[in-house]
Amino acid sequence: MAYDTHDLLKMSQDELDTLFKESEAGPIPDGEADGTAIIAPGTSFSDEIAKIISIFAWQGKIFDAEKGLLRNEILPFGIRAIVAKVYKEPSWLDQKECIVLDYSDTSILASRVRDEIRLIAPNFYLGKVYWNDTRLIDFALKFDQ
């Protein structure tokens, strides 16, 4: 099934978790992705929250697959900051391979953050955000390529 961001925002947390578990890691992405935060999934608030976060806080990620790094695009001006290492390893959710976005050695601000992503459709990834070992929110990354 082909998914888009709107579909993900309408899904429940259980449906997002199932989709993540049923998906393969896919290749480590390269290039710029538009990001969408998925908070309060499946509620009437998730779309509005995503829009507010996109305007004021986080717009996406820029991957450099060759170097195994990424930068986040943040704040209203789209500043490229908050670097993460990118590699594959087992997911904390189900122990199957995923792509890890690891901030522990690259960012003071986000040193306790670990993101995990899996490919759910061509050029489209679903992600999970952890603070230490506590899962916080989900997000989507859409690449133009």
Report the distance separating Cα 79 and Cα 58, nearest Å: 9
Nearest C-alpha neighbor of 127 from the set 15, 36, 1, 22 = 36
- The band of 1, judged by pLDDT with boundaries at 50, 70 and 90, is confident
What is the per-residue pLDDT across 92-138, written as a single tens digit (0 to 9) for each?
999 999 999 999 999 999 999 999 999 999 999 999 999 999 999 99
Return the pLDDT at 47.
95
Q: What is the mean pLDDT of residues 58-82?
A: 96
What CATH number is given to the structural domain containing 18?
2.40.160
Domain boundaries, position 86: 5-143
Is residue 50's pLDDT more than 90?
A: yes
- What predicted TM-score, i.e. pTM, was given to this entire model? 0.96
Side-chain half-sphere CA neighbours of 61 within 13 A: 28
Number of domains in the chain: 1
